[in-house]
Amino acid sequence: MKQIINAIISNDIHQIETVSEQLVVMGKTFALDEQLVNTFRLVFDELLSNVVTHAYGDNQVHHIEVRAYLDSYFIAVIEHDGVYFDPKNAPKPDLYSSIEERKIGGLGVYLVDNLINEVRYLNKENKRLIILKHKL
């Protein structure tokens, strides 16, 4: 298994683009389908935005580590020290009401779960891990 991304960003929403750019380079380097790369970009944008926006309640700088590996699977780990989020405890999104009637939130997790084969959220001592596994 070859490590293809090893990035450390801070909890600044503007730094998420760094990971997106690395995903594009990965796609070109390994001749991955452009639609698949765009799916990964969307998933990382959603997950990292959630970490940056919801995992930290202070005004301190925190580091978020992103690692990705490639073989017959794309495997990625997002590691941070913020608040643990378990989507199993989150309410299911309302997929049937009009946009005006829906509550904000929940669609991103639903989207990620439907785009990636396997998503796990782990709480390990001082670290929170989001692990993605997707068959290529």
Whether the Cβ atoms of residue 41 and residue 98 lie closer than 8 Å to each other: no
Dist CA 12 CA 119 (whole Å): 23
- All structural domains of the chain: 2-135 (3.30.565.10)
Polymer length in residues for the chain? 136
- Reported confidence tier of residue 118, pLDDT bands at 50, 70, 90: very high
* 61-74 tens-digit pLDDT: 999 999 999 999 99
Q: For the segment 32-87, what is each residue's pLDDT rounded down to a tens digit?
A: 999 999 999 999 999 999 999 999 989 899 999 999 999 999 999 999 999 998 88
Tokens 């380079």 sit on residue: 25
Q: Residue 74 in 3-state DSSP?
A: strand
What phi, psi does 31 have (nearest 5°)? 50, 45
Cα–Cα distance between 43 and 60 in angstroms, integer? 25
CA distances, 8 to each of 41, 75, 128 (Å)? 16, 17, 15
